[in-house]
């Protein structure tokens, strides 16, 4: 077994593991005790989270577990996972600099203050694609539960420290699923969207990674070529997986935030409203502002 410790004080702006993982940006981590996100807000004080990833030099997926305890980020894995974690949890983002670059704004300041240390994630593209296809008209806990069900049903088994885990399903595995099977897992009308989009990836017709490198709005447009992916879900994939930190998904929470705090940004359509709110959120790191505001307001301003 490999393991390591990353001192939180070595990270600019600190780190908050539970907020980062359970703030609705990632559905690909799981609590070691099997409970879903938000069943106990204090879980992150010392609880382990696990996920799987595919190391570049291996064919089989690897498990990695992390927890935050006494200012230390501890990890365990079957492989050396530190580089992966730094990328996956964006540990090298200069949060202090990002905060400094954020517009002087009461709402943003309160949100950043309340959840200091929360970072964006950089999740694997396919899992992010599927997660956010599943997110349509769903609650955070259920979206998370759907991903757990997909792992259990279609994921490759991985053993770590004597325990059995399931890797996130491959595109091939979900492409081979039937709509009826996916409905059995509770995906509802999202079931055919997931199957068809997985098929696009599995056959090579379209890969979410190929959005990378395009200008932001062109990348968003590219992603809407998947089934079940509109502009909002495309923005989530860009922000939470592909590193487009200026992306601001216009979900119900941000729309009501715009109505209450930034009414002049409501331009009546997605494209123009997106441009306006991204400008209000400071442009380059607008997605960071979005994620803090989303988490802050969804938890009731506390």
Partner DNA sequence: TATCCAAGGTAAGTT
Partner DNA sequence: AACTTACCTTGGATA
Distance between CA 87 and CA 75 in Å, rounded? Answer: 14
Judged by CB, which is closer to DNA: 75, or 193?
193
State the nearest-atom distance from the C-beta of 37 to DNA, in Å: 10
Strand-strand pairing, 62-69 and 49-53 = antiparallel
Q: Which of 65, 151, 190, 278 binds DNA (CB under 7 A)?
A: 190
Place of tokens 């954020």: 102
Distance between CA 148 and CA 99 in Å, rounded? Answer: 34
Q: Which of 86, 183, 206, 275 binds DNA (CB under 7 A)?
A: 183
Q: Which of 254, 286, 289, 297 binds DNA (CB under 7 A)?
A: 254
The interface region with DNA, picked from 40-48, 163-171, 211-219, 251-259 by CB under 7 A, is 251-259
Site string for DNA, 20-59 (x = CB under 7 A): ---xxx----------------------------------
Judged by CB, which is closer to DNA: 160, or 261?
261
CA max distance for the chain: 56
State the nearest-atom distance from the C-beta of 52 to DNA, in Å: 21
**Do the Cβ atoms of 64 and 28 come closer than 8 Å?**
no
Q: Which residues pair with 63 in a beta bridge?
A: 52
Distance between CA 80 and CA 99 in Å, rounded? Answer: 31
State the nearest-atom distance from the C-beta of 194 to DNA, in Å: 12
Q: Which residues contact 287 (CB under 8 A, 6 or more apart)?
A: 120, 239, 244, 245, 246, 247, 248, 281
Q: Which residues contact 73 (CB under 8 A, 6 or more apart)?
A: 5, 6, 7, 8, 15, 17, 66, 67, 85, 91
Site string for DNA, 215-234 (x = CB under 7 A): ---------x-xxxxxxxxx
Task: Please list every residue from 264 through 293 that binds DNA, using CB under 7 A.
Answer: 268-269, 290-291
Judged by CB, which is closer to DNA: 122, or 190?
190
Tokens in use for 158? Answer: 């991985």
State the nearest-atom distance from the C-beta of 138 to DNA, in Å: 6
Task: Report the SS3 class of residue 189.
Answer: helix
Distance between CA 90 and CA 122 in Å, rounded? Answer: 7
Q: Which of 188, 203, 209, 259 binds DNA (CB under 7 A)?
A: 188
Q: Which of 160, 216, 253, 261 binds DNA (CB under 7 A)?
A: 253
Judged by CB, which is closer to DNA: 160, or 216?
216
Judged by CB, which is closer to DNA: 64, or 133?
133
Q: Which residues pair with 180 in a beta bridge?
A: none
Judged by CB, which is closer to DNA: 63, or 182?
182
Contact between 103 and DNA per CB under 7 A: no
Tokens in use for 110? Answer: 């309160």
Alpha helices (H) along 204-251: 216-223, 231-240
Backbone angles phi, psi at 102, to 5 degrees: -80, 140
State the nearest-atom distance from the C-beta of 55 to DNA, in Å: 27
Residues that bind DNA (CB under 7 A): 23-25, 135-140, 142-143, 183, 186-190, 193, 224, 226-234, 236, 249, 251-254, 268-269, 290-291, 294, 298
């Amino acid at each position: 077994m490999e393991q390591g410790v990353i001192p939180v004080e070595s990270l600019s702006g600190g780190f908050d593991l539970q907020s980062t993982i359970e703030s609705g940006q990632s559905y690909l981590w799981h609590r070691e005790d099997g409970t879903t996100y938000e069943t106990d807000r204090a879980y992150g004080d010392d609880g382990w989270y696990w996920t799987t990833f595919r190391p570049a030099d291996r064919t089989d997926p690897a498990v990695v577990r992390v927890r935050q305890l006494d200012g230390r980020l501890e990890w365990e894995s079957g492989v050396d996972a530190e580089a992966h974690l730094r990328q996956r949890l964006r540990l090298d983002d200069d949060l202090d600099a990002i905060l400094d670059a954020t517009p002087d704004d009461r709402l943003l300041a309160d949100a950043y203050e309340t959840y200091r240390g929360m970072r964006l994630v950089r999740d694997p593209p396919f899992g992010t694609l599927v997660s956010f296809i599943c997110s349509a008209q769903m609650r955070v806990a259920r979206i998370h539960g759907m991903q757990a069900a997909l792992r259990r049903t279609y994921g490759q088994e991985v053993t770590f420290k004597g325990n059995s885990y399931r890797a996130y399903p491959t595109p091939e595995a979900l492409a081979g699923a039937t709509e009826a099977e996916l409905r059995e897992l509770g995906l509802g009308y999202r079931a055919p969207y997931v199957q068809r989009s997985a098929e696009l990836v599995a056959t090579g017709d379209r890969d979410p990674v190929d959005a990378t490198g395009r200008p932001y709005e062109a990348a968003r447009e590219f992603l809407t070529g998947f089934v079940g992916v509109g502009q909002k879900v495309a923005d989530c994939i860009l922000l939470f997986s592909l590193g487009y930190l200026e992306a601001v998904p216009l979900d119900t929470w941000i729309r009501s935030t715009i109505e209450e705090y930034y009414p002049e940004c409501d331009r009546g359509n997605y494209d123009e409203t997106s441009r306006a709110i991204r400008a209000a959120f400071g442009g380059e790191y607008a997605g960071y502002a979005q994620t803090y505001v989303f988490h802050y307001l969804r938890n009731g301003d506390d």
